[in-house]
Every structure is written in structure tokens, then in C-alpha cells.
Chain A
């Protein structure tokens, strides 16, 4: 339901847009207003607006051969506004030089007649070009030759080079755009006696070569000759798959292709290209091969300078140092940049011409190339120099290369860099102030340098006292005595722990005993408050309560309740004489009831006696 609604809305918008679309219009343009004889130009007539249009079927101009090659239709929607246009293509082949006027053409569109603007085409003549140069249709093969569709070209800018010199090389691969090429194997420069760098694709553009459009892919690389002699560079070989018409078994007349409008030797005159769906094409693998190029390689001249490391090309050098104010022995970072064009893989760090008084560290380098193949760029070296004595300038750095244009060795020397070196030995008489002079002449002989060196400070006196005990290099923690000493605090700690644990255990036993006594006393007091106890039991329990309370009162002394008598209890509770007598009587009565039989005396205890006993026991407090 919703989908139907959406379709309806869209259709309504389109219908409304069409109803309010602009009225039809026509334009005409030339792909190029200037050309030469034999070189085609495209004419496009574009009709914008609704409805069908009928373009001119034939345009006849003397000196120009014009053929319709097809049409294309465009339909565009912009902000719910639709527009449609039809472009009619014509190819114009100038047959002679001159200025040609293409008059306005009548186009019928949407029930109205439209007129194209007038166009002008200037055709120049090509010297030496004649119609005889073109192969006639009768001599051409009916099969498509893949070599005409793709080709390669090896471009070497120079014919002579030196051993080790880096020579830039360009490879151009041209493809007819209609064959839809697919590169299987990238181009490779064959040959011996040289090394080639990795190919870098540098660009792709469209060019017209011999009147045909080609997609041209350009690769760049550089080669270096390994030895002197004459050898051939190339050919460049590559493999590609291209789309070509299917081969037919027997030759038969074919219809004229729109691509071969002018009876040219065009492989695309095959009808396959005019209508690929009418006749299926096939992919064919083709080998692309260029022509080889001769190269003469010359050896380098003898007597290379000492600082020559194999660099060939054209270079410049700049030097910088940081810091410029140091102490003797401090490092100075010397940055040397070698810029230019040449074989940077053989460009080594500039050499220090006079290392005396300096300590040189191995340099580090980094290369920043300015092109795809690394022929031009800047190689930067960082060398750390450390002065061993006072100096006023950095030593001269030299870099040599061979200039193949001048055909001679060139040595570059760094500009003098003034520095300030403090401390250490006195300054040697170096020729930093005269950088133009040769390094050998600028350095003072070591003997004279030693003469002007300040006399060093003398060492201190000899010591004649020798300690009795020998000393050891071993750290104290590796010695047995150290670990033996640790036994003392260890034993102390163990003793402390044992003492504390034992005390805790003792306290625990005493606490248990006290708790048992408390429990027993409470139970006995409970029994004493009962009225059904016999006198014997009553007095026995009463005396027992007194013993237990006495034991509890003297818990620190550890008195056994069984050995407590009346005197001990009285002393413990510090009773007066009256209470002491009452306590004695209590113990005597208990003993009487315990040992003299159960039938002596009354069978019950009077409440007064019971109250008296309880009062006595309750008053037993420390």
C-alpha cells in the first residue's frame, strides 16, 4: 500500500515536472576548431527538451567529409526538475586545408524547428602528407592486429654515460582505449650490463598519436651501467590482455564500421566495435615490445680525489654545526647536506680533511628524494665531532664527485664554521682562521703543540699509613658477617614472639579457670536460695561458695578453692571479728553436717539461719 503510494507520488512529480519543463533548445560544438588535413574533429549537436528530435542526416560541405557516428541520450533530475537531452555525434575529416564554415543545421524537436549556431573550422595543411601514405582498404587485412592497438616506447635521454652514472629512463605504454587493456606483466627493461631501479608509474593521460586517441601510461626508472662498453638497452617487454573481435574462419565482406568512416586502416573498422553486443569479442594476450636503444658507457677517468666515493652527477654541499660553543670533549653535531642530481646511493658522508685534535664518530644519513626514482634530492649527513683540544673552527669537510657534463672530478669543501672550545689543553695553532689554505698547511706539528701546552697540575703526596685491617671491595650485603649479624635481631624477634605467645596462653588458662569458678559460684548461690535443700547440703554448698569466692578474690595467687579454710577466707575478705566468727561457725556447721551424720540436729534450716548465711555470703567482697 505504502509502496504504491510512493510510486504514485513520484509519477505525479515527474508528470508535473514534465509539464512545466522548458521549451526545447539546440546547441552545436566542435571538439576542436583547428585541425590539420586528415585529422578528424568531432561535431556534437545537443538537443535539450522533451519529445523526439530529428537531426540532419547528412551535412555536406565541400572539403569536409562529415559522417554521423551515433547518438546518446541523457536524462537528469535536479531538485524535482527533470530535463532530457539528446546528443548527435558527427565526425569531420578535412580533405583539404582552409577555413570552413559549418552552416546552421535544422533540427526538428518537440514540433518546432530549431537551428544550430554557425561553426568555423580552420584546417591547416600537413607538409609531406598525402593520401598515398594511407594504406588503401583493399590492402589491409581484415583481421585486427593487436600490435596496432597497444605499443611501448623506451625513451633514454642520452646515448653516452659513465660507469656508475645514473641515467633516467622513461617507458611509455600506449593503449587504444577501446580495447579495454589489462596489464598482465608490467614492463621490464631487458638487457645486460646495467642495473635498473624499480619502475615507478608517473602518470596517465590521453594523447592523439597519428590521428588516433591513445591512453598513455608513463613509467619512470633509472639505470646504472655496471661496466664500460657499448650495449643495447631494452627492448621493453610487457604483456597485456586486450579485447579484440572474434576471428572468423573465412573472410567475408563486412559492413563499414562507424570507426572507420573515412576508409582508413583502422582495426576498429571491424563491426564488433560498432556494436559489441551483436558479435561477441574475445580477450587476447598480446606481448608489447619496444625498440631497443643503444647506449655507450665510458669508464671514469683515473686520478680520482681521495674523498671520491663513486658519486656521479651534479651536487652542491652545505654545512652547519651545533653547538658552536663547547668544552673540550663535548660533541658537536655537524650536519652536511649534499643536494643535486646523481647516484645518491654512492654519495657518502664528506670526509674530514684533517682529523687531528678531533674525534670523529660514525655519521648517520637520511635521503629525501625529489623525484620518483631518487635521482634528485638531498642527502643529509650528521657527523658528531668532539674536539680533543681548543679549536677555533670546525675542520674542513670535503666531498668529491664526478661531473659527467664537465667530464671531470669536482671536490666540494665546506665553508669554515667558527666555534669556541673551552677547557682542556691550550689551543693548538690551527689554521681555522685561514680556511682557504690547504688543510695540511694549517695544522701545527704535535711537538710544537706540546710545547705550548700548559704544565698540568701535579698529583698529591704519598700516604705512608696503612690500616691494620684489610678492606674488601665486596658490598656489605654479600658478606657473611652481615647476614650473621641479622641473626641477632632475628633471635630477639623470635624471643619476643615466644614470650608474647606464652603470656597469652597463660592468660587464657587463668581466664578459663576464673570463668569456671564464677559459674560454680553462681550455681551454688542459686541452690542456696532454694528452700528444699537439707541442712547438710545447704551448709556444704554455703562453705563451698565461700571457698570459691575466696579463690576468685585471690585469682592472681592461684589459690585452690579446696584448700581454703575459714581463716583464709576471712583474711582474704578482711572480715571483722563478728563476721569472722560467723564464717567460722558456718564452716564448723558444714563440717558437722558433713562428718557427724545426717540425723543430728533439726531436719530443716530455719529461715533466720538461711537469711543469716546468705547475708554473710553476699557480704563477702574484696
Chain B
């Protein structure tokens, strides 16, 4: 501190000697002291303001969520739905928000959207017991139809797509290190060769599981019928022959989209066209 002060005391002389009066004025001890004072004030202030805004930004969704829950508790289901939807529009996606939204839709007797919300909650969190239970109730209430799962899909469902992906990555790198070890070492241990083979099998199995689950009935093409009195048809026309009547909440798997119609795999292993407005994809 003493050294700093001495430096500051000697600097004007040096500035005057060089004829740089302006810099000397700016670098005068008063101005430097003022700048240090401002720094002392502004930095904490800015920090405080930033913390305030950040904390309020974090707290805002919590408040909205609490408000929506309150609306639900007061049986204002439409308002609750609106608040939950606003949260979701803001990107505040969580299994609990979708679950609560599903409950609100259920209370509002919109079983299609209730099932859609429960499905979304389960898509975010596979093991969400409340969503699983309420989804079953909503399906029973609506008479919703479910897609049939293929046998590989049923077996691969012991883990989620993310878990299979991580397993595939880990197996890949272990296999890669085993291979590198086998290449760079003179002695090729049978254990390392065995581990390499096992890891390659795990990698292939995990990739297959990911592919199967993603293309399966619970994959990224899963959609839920939200409209009422929806008829799947043989062609993209309201007058075309009906293939299947789809109660609200029924599962469909979108194969392609043509204009306002989507061609989908339907329950009971059927395929048909349904209006795009009457179905929503589970994954946002």
C-alpha cells in the first residue's frame, strides 16, 4: 500500500516531464482515488443487481408453478392449465409439470390431452409412479387404444434410450482401449481379447436397442390422439372409408405427414390417415 501510494505520488512529475497534461490530469491522485471509489461502489452494486435478476429469473418459474398449483387446488382447472402451459412454453420442462398439467386436463375431462401430458411426463422420467398410475386411469376412462409393442421392444425396455446410449458409449471406449492395448503390447492376453469381444457385443446390442426403442411404439414418432370422434381413414379425405375409430388418448405412430393429414400406425396393427390437428407428438 505504501509502495502504491509512492508510485501515485511520483507519477504526475513524470507526466509533466513528458508534456502529457491530459493524461496527467486523468492520472491525478484525485481522479485515481475517485476511480477506485467508483469501483468500490459499482462492482458490488452490479453484482447485487445481477444476483437479484438471476435469482428472480430462477424464482419466477417457481412462482408460476406455485400459482398454477394453487389454481388447481381451487379447482380452477382452466386457469391451472393455462399456467402450466405457460411454464411449458417458457421451456420449463419437467416431469412434474407435465404430470400436474395432465391432472388438470383430467379434471377438465379432456382425457386426450391428459394422456398426452402423462406420456410426456413419462418420456422425461421413465419411472414416474404417479404419472404411470394416472395414465392408466385416464386410459381406462377414455377407452384409449394402445399400440402393440414388438417383442424386441418389450425386451429392450429394461433400460431407457439414454441408458442404452451411455452403455454403448462406455462399451465403445472400453473396446477401443482394449484394442489399442492389444496393438501396442507384445503379449496379447486372452482376458483382454475376451473383454474386447464382450464390449463389442455390448456396444452392438446397445445400438440395436437404441434403434429399436427410437423406432418403436414409444419412440420419437409416438403421438397421442387429442381430438374427439377421430376416425382413421384409408385416404386423406373426410369422406374416405374409415379404418378405425380412435378414442381420445389413443396412441399412434406417425409415419409421414401430408398437408393437414398424418399417416400413422394405429392400434391393432392397422395404418391409416388422421387429421394432423387431432394428434400431438409426445416429444416436444
Which residues of A does B touch, CB under 8 Å?
Answer: 328-329, 331, 359, 361-362, 388, 424, 456-468, 470-477, 482, 485-486, 489, 492-493, 496-497, 500-501, 504
Contacts and interface: CB of A to CB of B under 8 A. Distances in A.
A456 to B, nearest CB: 5
Contacts of A493: 173, 176-177, 180
Interface string B173-193: 100110010001000000000
A492 B138 CA distance: 50
Given A456-B140, A459-B137, A470 B169 contact: no
B203 interface: no
A496 B180 contact: yes
A462 B93 contact: no
Given A331-B268, A471-B93, A473-B93, A462 B169 contact: no
Contacts of B61: 466
A253 to B, nearest CB: 79
Interface string B87-109: 00001111111011001001000
A471 B145 contact: no
12 contacts: A361-B243, A456-B141, A460-B130, A460-B134, A462-B73, A465-B96, A470-B91, A471-B124, A477-B165, A486-B169, A500-B184, A504-B184
A504 to B, nearest CB: 7
A462 B134 contact: no
B177 A466 contact: no
Q: Which of A460, A462, A465 has the most CB of B within 10 A?
A: A462
A603 B220 CA distance: 99
Nearest to A458: B137
B194 interface: no
A486 B166 CA distance: 10
A466 B241 CA distance: 46
Interface stretch (B18-26, B64-72, B255-263): B64-72
B123 interface: yes
Contacts of A424: 140, 143
B160 to A, nearest CB: 9
A486 B210 CA distance: 18
Nearest to A475: B161
Contact of A471 (B66, B94, B176): B94
Interface of B: 58, 61-62, 65-66, 69, 72-73, 91-97, 99-100, 103, 106, 120, 123-125, 130, 133-134, 137-138, 140-141, 143, 145, 161-162, 165-166, 169, 173, 176-177, 180, 184, 210, 214, 220, 241-245, 268, 282-284
B94 A467 contact: yes
Contacts, number: 109
Nearest to A461: B130
B155 to A, nearest CB: 19
Given A460-B130, A464-B69, A475 B214 contact: yes
B103 A466 contact: no
B135 to A, nearest CB: 9
A458 B107 CA distance: 10
B10 to A, nearest CB: 51
Contacts of A472: 93, 124
A462 B72 contact: yes
A467 B106 contact: no
B138 A466 contact: no
B72 A329 contact: no
Nearest to B107: A459
Given A331-B268, A463-B130, A471 B95 contact: yes
Q: Which of A329, A457, A459, A497 has the most CB of B within 10 A?
A: A459
A362 B100 contact: no
A491 B32 CA distance: 48
Contact of A457 (B95, B140, B169, B243): B140
Contact of B96 (A359, A463, A492): A463
A500 B177 CA distance: 12
A469 B20 CA distance: 55
A501 B61 CA distance: 55
Nearest to B177: A493
Contacts of A328: 143
B208 to A, nearest CB: 14
Contacts of A500: 180, 184
Nearest to B214: A475
B142 to A, nearest CB: 10
A463 B101 CA distance: 10
Contacts of B242: 362
Given A361-B244, A456-B137, A473-B284, A466 B165 contact: no
Given A361-B244, A476-B166, A497 B72 contact: no
A464 B242 CA distance: 43
A201 to B, nearest CB: 39
A422 to B, nearest CB: 14
Contacts of B123: 473
A98 B61 CA distance: 122
Nearest to B99: A463
Contacts of B58: 468
A467 B96 contact: yes
A418 B138 CA distance: 30
Given A466-B62, A466-B65, A489 B94 contact: no
B237 to A, nearest CB: 16
A566 to B, nearest CB: 39
Given A456-B140, A500-B180, A501-B184, 17 more contacts: A329-B145, A361-B243, A456-B137, A460-B130, A460-B133, A461-B130, A462-B72, A463-B96, A463-B100, A464-B69, A468-B58, A470-B91, A470-B94, A473-B123, A475-B220, A486-B169, A489-B173
Nearest to A456: B141
B137 A466 contact: no
Nearest to B68: A462
Nearest to A457: B137
A468 B220 CA distance: 25
B124 A473 contact: yes
A388 B140 CA distance: 11
A538 B180 CA distance: 52
A461 B215 CA distance: 33
Contacts of B140: 424, 456-457
A390 to B, nearest CB: 13
B77 to A, nearest CB: 11
Q: Which of A467, A474, A485, A493 has the most CB of B within 10 A?
A: A467
- List 5 A-B pairs, minimum CB-CB distance, nearest first: A500-B184, A473-B283, A489-B173, A476-B162, A477-B165
Nearest to B161: A475
Contacts of B106: 459
Nearest to B132: A460
Contacts of A463: 96, 99-100, 130
Nearest to B91: A470
Q: Which of A359, A471, A497, A504 has the most CB of B within 10 A?
A: A471
Nearest to B98: A471
Nearest to A389: B143
Contacts of A492: 177
B143 to A, nearest CB: 6
B162 A475 contact: yes
Contact of A470 (B93, B173, B283): B93
Contacts of B283: 473-474
